[in-house]
A and B are shown apart, each in its own frame.
Chain A
Amino acid sequence: MKDFQIIIGGEAGEGSKKAGMIIANFFNVYGFNVFIHEDYQSLIKGGHNFSSISVSERKVDGVREEVDFVLALNEDTIFKHKNKIKKEGGVLIYDENCTDKDFSAEGFKVVKVPLMEIVKKVEGINLMKNTALVSSFAKIIGLKWEVIEEVLGKELKVELEKNIEVAKLAFQETETVKEVEAVGEKKGELISGNEAVALGAVDAGLECFFAYPMTPATGILRFFVNYDKVKTFQPENEISVANMVLGAGYTGKRTMTGTSGGGFALMTEALSLSAQSETPFVVALSQRMGPASGVPTYQGQGDLLFALNAGHGDMMRFVVAPGDADDAYYLTGEALNTAWKYQLPSIIILDKEISENTYTFKKEKQVEKREALLAENNADYDRYDGEDISPMAFPGGEAVVKATSYEHDKKGVVTEDAEAIKKMQEKRIRKYEKLRQEVEEMETVRVTGSGSVAVVFWGSTKGAVLEAVKDLEIKAIQVLIMEPFSKKQMKEALVGVEKIISIETNATGQLSKVLQCNGFKVDEEILKYNGRPFSVDELEEKLKDL
């Protein structure tokens, strides 16, 4: 058995997420690809949280509906998920004391563990139930005790010794049901998409990070407050954030922010200032289900057209759309380097699933900082000199550096002169042309498989789509760079294709509209807009008869 689907769940505050992370680490050590989809609600206590863990020898970043193991910290979890357990070979593992119902006739195997008793025996706290549960699970699948010890040591920062005691007892009291063998060396680090964004930014030379908390982007802020080398600051609102990012950018510091749709909406005036003043601006825009406050902790891809159009005036931008942690790392590097080379806003459009899910991160391509075009810092400097990209100087030396939100002459002084206005608009357009040409050298779309039917998708749907089409004669086309959009690469990707289907987690087919604008007609749309990502099975079902 080489593929597993596991669900672990409980109330908010019971630590099911942490437990899921520990399990993921077990399999990571055993050489599997691991993916965790987090499902939680916008509340602090109560409710129902669960992690769906996909374990495979191959890269599988999507969730299947049938599961091999359900690990329940409370009764609610059992009732919510027991119908998904495979009758053949499936196992339900739960705390003996959490329910008096009997599940022995359901067809799957039932393992009751006295989690609470174990915790009490060593005088631990209630939260340690999850340690007992993961340790029992490890024993059920025949993992080695050393692996458990190693992983707990890495994942638990407080009361490690007590937790080890709890784990040991649970391990002793559980029987092995089936042995899982290691499949090789570790395939990569387990990180969230938000962490991948942060790492990509660091490798591209990030120096400051300013943000106001908003799910699902808050994880990036959490990363940087614990990271000394990047100056991190949380101001009073997103308007302040965006204008601070520009202020720091003006002094030459690579700065970025992260937010979701609502916060991004507040940043749009500053986005336009970035374009006009040619001050680099980088934002990770992690979408959640909208409109407005929407469904804060659930999936949506409803901000693509907004990201492509936000900001007033004829303004140019660079927009990338990663589909997993590896994409997020690499494309964030591209976003930062591009914002600084072309002195314009870069948007990394993410979604709840990429931001908060955990991936096995392989770092397929290393991000490097590329220097921006700099001028000599001397007295005759003009900020907006040149035909397209103006070399940058920063305040603090002999050069007088004038940046402005108004249309301006080459010195950076306001102008209302018709000729001068036209000239500056054209300078920015030439700069964009240059960017457009450079983008042709980048990987803007990625093709997997072949067939006369193509599915086109973006963002986190990648995981489920690639898994669903792997045995079908379907060409899968992921859009990685949304703006400037490479018609050429899309055209090449579509050679031999007779039918185009777009797959998105929004209600109006925003990628289809982007394709339409670029002259590609989408024949069919598979849309999901209930806040949940696509499962592999549901896409297989929809695609198999094409």
Chain B
Amino acid sequence: MENIVLPTKNTWCPGCGNFGIQKAITNIVSEIGKEKTVLVSGVGCHGKMADYLDINSFYSLHGRAIASGQGVKMGNEELNVICSVGDGDAYEEGMAHLIHAAKRDADITVIVHNNRVFALTINQATSTSPKGFISNSTPQGKTEEAINPLKIMLAVGAGFVARGYVGKIDHLSRIIKQGVEHKGFSFIEILQPCVAWHNTFADYNERVYELEKEFLPLQEAEEKVKEWDYNNMESKIALGVFYKK
């Protein structure tokens, strides 16, 4: 495998879930080739991916990677566009772009580094932080319910909806690759514990399991994504491709 990790000084915390995603992207790029691949990243800890890999990249603004990414695809349809975005990035600042890209079936792959916290700005709650989450912006505990992004993606008609986990890199690499190969919009949420502000490794390790089927029919997928609602750590957490058109 070609080494595509740049010698840039890496400033992710030791043990950060982003390392797993970096490994998965490296795996995929070595399979699909780097010439025709562009990584478009948002701004946050996740965005640094662009600085750490020796591949084409457009390091966009906070929340805007999905918009830039669609521009890249319209500019050159031969390119594989992978948007590395954060939860603050895509579910807060740039939510409209995510929903519309899914709805219009833009041929890009969105991977959400969901650490369920604004990490780079030092620990504030996002819309996928669990209810009750204590952070710098919610010292008394978050009062709002968490959203379930997979539900939203299915509701707006996304054609490929999956969830991966940085603790299962081979599985994660496989589903990202399927997302890249899927013609049309693909959405992959990645459970990415943030060891500094929201360390969910132990909980995830205990609860995650892989879906048996390659993917599910829409109605079944709609049921399945409700299994875990992001507010608690009581249920099991399914990984894999929930739905594929």
- A243–B38 CB distance below 8 A: no
CB distance from A245 to the nearest CB of B (A): 6
Measured CA separation A255–B70 after assembly (Å): 13
- Tell whether, in the assembled complex, residue A270 and residue B61 are in contact, meaning their CB atoms are under 8 Å apart: yes
Q: Considering only CB atoms, which chain A residue lies closest to B78 in the complex? A: A396
Q: Which residues of B contact A248 (CB under 8 A)?
A: 71-72, 74-75
Q: Which residue, of A233, A244, A253, A398, has the highest number of chain B Cβ atoms within 10 A?
A: A244
Q: What is the distance, in angstroms, from B1's C-beta to the closest C-beta of chain A?
A: 17
Cα distance, A406 to B8, chains bound together (Å) = 14
| Inter-chain contact B55/A243, CB cutoff 8 Å | no
Judge if A251 is at the interface, Cβ distance under 8 Å.
Answer: yes
B96 touches A236 (CB 8 A): yes
Measured CB to CB, the nearest residue on chain B to A243 is B67
Q: Interface size of B by Cβ–Cβ distance < 8 Å?
A: 35
Chain B CB within 8 A of A249 CB: yes
Cα separation A247 to B40 with both chains bound (whole Å): 9
From 50 to 79 in chain A, residues with beta carbon under 8 angstroms from any chain B beta carbon are: none
Chain A: CB-nearest residue to B74: A248
Say yes or no: is A373 at the interface (Cβ < 8 Å to chain B).
Answer: no
Bound form: Cα–Cα A401–B68 in Å? 15
**Which one, B57, B70, B76, B96, contacts A402 given CB within 8 A?**
B57
Question: Do the beta carbons of A413 and B6 come within 8 Å of each other?
Answer: yes
| Partner pick for A405 among B38, B43, B72, B75, CB 8 A cutoff | B43
Which residue from chain B places its CB closest to the CB of A403 in the assembled complex?
Answer: B58
Note all chain B residues with C-beta closer than 8 A to A239. Answer: 64, 67, 96-97
Contact size range, A: 35 or more
* B100 sits at the interface (CB 8 A): yes
Q: For the complex, is A494 an interface residue (Cβ under 8 Å from B)? A: no
Q: Which of B6, B43, B54, B68 contacts A243 (CB 8 A)?
A: B68
A240, B103: Cα distance in complex, Å: 15
Q: Tell me how far the C-beta of A402 lies from the nearest C-beta in chain B, rounded to whole angstroms.
A: 5
CB pair B75 A251 closer than 8 Å: yes
Answer yes or no: A400 CB below 8 A from chain B CBs.
yes
Complex interface: chain A residues within 8 A of B50 (CB): 402, 404
Q: Does B143 contact A (CB under 8 A)?
A: no
Q: Cβ of A294 < 8 Å from any Cβ of B?
A: no
Q: B6, B57, B75, B79: which contacts A208 (Cβ < 8 A)?
A: B75
Smallest CB separation, A376 vs chain B (Å): 15
Chain B minimum-CB-distance residue to A273: B61
Specify the chain A residue showing the minimal Cβ separation from B99.
A236
Q: Which residues of B contact A243 (CB under 8 A)?
A: 60-61, 64, 67-68, 71
Q: Across the interface, do A240 and B56 meet the contact criterion of CB distance under 8 Å?
A: no
Chain B residue numbers with a CB within 8 Å of A237 are: 96
* Contact residues of A between 317 and 336, Cβ < 8 Å to B: none
Residues of A contacting B100 in the complex (Cβ-Cβ under 8 angstroms): 235-236, 240
- The answer to whether A236 touches B97, judged by C-beta atoms less than 8 angstroms apart, is yes
Within 8 A of A (CB), among B1-53: 6, 8, 34-36, 38, 40, 43, 48, 50-51
Check if B55 sits within 8 Å of A400, measured CB to CB: yes
Judged by DSSP, the binding face of A is mixed
CB distance from A533 to the nearest CB of B (A): 36
Partner of B35 from A244, A253, A398 at Cβ < 8 Å: A398
In the assembled complex, B86 has its CB within 8 A of some CB on chain A: no
Interface of B is mostly: mixed
Determine which of B8, B40, B68, B78 lies in contact with A413 in the assembled complex, contact meaning CB atoms within 8 Å: B8
In the complex, what residues of A have CB within 8 A of residue B185's CB?
A: none
B243 is an interface residue with CB less than 8 A from chain A: no
Report chain A residues within 8 Å CB of B130.
none
The contact of A244 among B48, B56, B59, B70, by CB within 8 Å, is: B70
- Asked whether any CB of chain B lies closer than 8 Å to the CB of A184, the reply is no
User: Is B69's CB within 8 Å of the partner chain A?
Assistant: yes
Residues of A within 8 A of B57 (CB): 401-404, 412
User: How far is it, in angstroms, between the C-alpha of A269 and the C-alpha of B73 when the chains are bound?
Assistant: 21
Name the CB-closest residue of B to A231.
Answer: B74
Does A250 count as interface, using CB distance less than 8 angstroms? yes
Q: Of B36, B58, B71, B78, which is in contact with the most chain A CB atoms at under 10 Å from its CB?
A: B71
Q: Are A250 and B71 in contact (CB under 8 A)?
A: yes
A496 within 8 A of B: no
How would residues 481 to 508 of chain A score, 1 for a CB under 8 Å from any chain B CB and 0 otherwise? 0000000000000000000000000000
- Is the beta-carbon distance between A250 and B64 smaller than 8 angstroms? no
- The complex places the Cα of A231 from the Cα of B77 at a distance, in Å, of 12
Min CB distance A267 to B, Å, is 11
Q: What residues of chain B lie closer than 8 Å to A412, measured between beta carbons?
A: 57, 59
A210 at the interface (CB under 8 A from B): yes
Question: Would you call A188 an interface residue if the criterion is a C-beta within 8 Å of the partner chain's C-beta atoms?
Answer: no
A3–B232 Cα distance when bound, in Å, is 79
- Residues in B neighbouring A235, C-beta threshold 8 A: 67, 70, 100
Given A251-B79, A404-B50: A273 in contact with B71 (beta carbons within 8 A): no
Cβ contact within 8 Å between A210 and B61:
no
Indicate if the CB atoms of A273 and B79 lie closer than 8 Å.
no
Residues of A within 8 A of B64 (CB): 239-240, 243, 269-270
User: Which B residue sits closest to A242, measured CB to CB?
Assistant: B67
Decide if B76 touches A253 in the complex (CB within 8 Å): yes
Closest chain-B Cβ to A271's Cβ sits at a distance in Å of 11
* A395 partner, pick from B60, B68, B79, B97, beta carbons under 8 A: B79
Q: Does A141 contact B (CB under 8 A)?
A: no
CB distance from A239 to the nearest CB of B (A): 7
7 example contacts (A-B, Cβ-Cβ < 8 A) are as follows A239-B64, A244-B74, A250-B71, A395-B38, A398-B35, A400-B34, A405-B43
8 new A-B contacts, CB < 8 A, other than A245-B71, A247-B71, A250-B68, are A208-B74, A239-B96, A240-B67, A242-B67, A243-B60, A247-B69, A253-B76, A402-B59
B interface, CB within 8 angstroms of A: 6, 8, 34-36, 38, 40, 43, 48, 50-51, 54-61, 64, 67-76, 78-79, 96-97, 100
